């Protein structure tokens, strides 16, 4: 926090993270490589598939997602699967849940491309890179209303925000409704384009450029630049 006070130029990854540093005015989100994370209909699973990327315990709440999935989704859609990119899940998490463990970058891209819907019910995210990766991959996003999910989904305009105990019903309804999924996927993709690496790099370049001002030429005809106050 001290560094953000004395630095000449600072930024945060989402607007609501400014609550701790209100003097920081610039928001530059985390970026996603859209050349890697992109839709591929040929890899889409035949089974209705929800993808989770996170941890079984703590703030990512993977265990809670598995519970509401088994309670609210499986009775109506027995063929549904919850694929979990998760290192700390139990060996047997119960019916309908598949633990993928830790994946390579290429395997993670394929996991997004297989899924029908993405869900991460964290109780806190400052931004939430998996939300943006899912959007770049053309997936509808379901999340709890933490500050990162609120920003990335544009306060639910490009995703579904629901309390934890309502997440399962939201997933069930999306898996059962192809038109709703397609519409939300379009909104998700459009919003996700805001988080491409190209846009983020451009924003940082502008931030650095704005912080550099030329000085009068130094002796011997040399010139130099400094960071503005």
Q: Report d(CA 201, CA 188) in Å as an integer.
A: 21
Using 50, 70 and 90 to split pLDDT, how confident is the model at 224?
Answer: very low
Nearest Cα to Cα of residue 156 among 194, 188, 118, 116: 188
- Say if residue 41's pLDDT is above 70: yes
* Under 8 Å between Cβ of 107 and 135: no
- Say if residue 218's pLDDT is above 90: no
pLDDT digits (tens, 9 = 90+) for 167-216: 999 999 999 999 999 999 999 999 999 999 999 999 999 988 887 755 55
Give the chain's end-to-end CA distance (angstroms, integer).
18
Domain boundaries, the chain: 2-30+198-227, 41-195
Per DSSP, helices labelled H in the chain are 2-6, 62-72, 105-114, 129-136, 147-152, 164-176, 178-192, 197-210
Model confidence, pTM: 0.88
* Under 8 Å between Cβ of 213 and 225: yes
CATH of domain 41-195: 3.40.50.2000
- Rounded mean pLDDT, 150-158: 98
Strand, coil or helix: what is 15? helix
Per-residue pLDDT, 39 = 96
In 4-152 the beta strands, taken as DSSP E runs, fall at 11-12, 26-27, 49-53, 81-85, 97-99, 117-120, 141-143
Find all residues with CB under 8 Å of 16, minimum gap 6, and list them: 147, 150, 151
- Say if residue 6's pLDDT is above 60: no
């Amino acid at each position: 926090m001290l560094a953000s006070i004395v630095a000449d130029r600072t930024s945060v990854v989402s607007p609501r993270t400014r609550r701790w540093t209100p003097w920081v005015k610039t928001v530059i989100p985390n970026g996603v490589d859209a050349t890697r994370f992109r839709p591929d209909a040929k890899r889409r699973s035949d089974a209705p598939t929800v993808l989770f990327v996170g941890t079984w315990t703590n703030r990512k709440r993977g265990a809670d997602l598995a519970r509401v999935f088994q309670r609210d989704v499986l009775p109506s859609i027995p063929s549904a699967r919850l694929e979990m990119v998760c290192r700390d899940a139990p060996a047997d998490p119960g019916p309908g849940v598949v633990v993928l463990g830790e994946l390579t970058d290429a395997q993670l891209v394929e996991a997004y491309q297989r899924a029908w819907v993405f869900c991460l019910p964290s109780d806190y995210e400052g931004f939430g890179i998996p939300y943006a990766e899912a959007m770049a991959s053309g997936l509808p996003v379901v999340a709890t209303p933490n500050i990162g999910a609120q920003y990335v989904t544009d306060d639910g305009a490009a995703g579904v925000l629901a309390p934890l105990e309502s997440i399962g019903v939201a997933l069930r309804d999306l898996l059962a409704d192809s038109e709703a999924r397609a519409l939300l996927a379009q909104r998700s993709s459009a919003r996700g384009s805001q988080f491409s690496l190209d846009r983020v790099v451009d924003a940082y370049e502008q931030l650095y450029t704005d912080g550099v001002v030329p000085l009068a030429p130094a002796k011997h005809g040399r010139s130099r630049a400094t960071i503005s106050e």
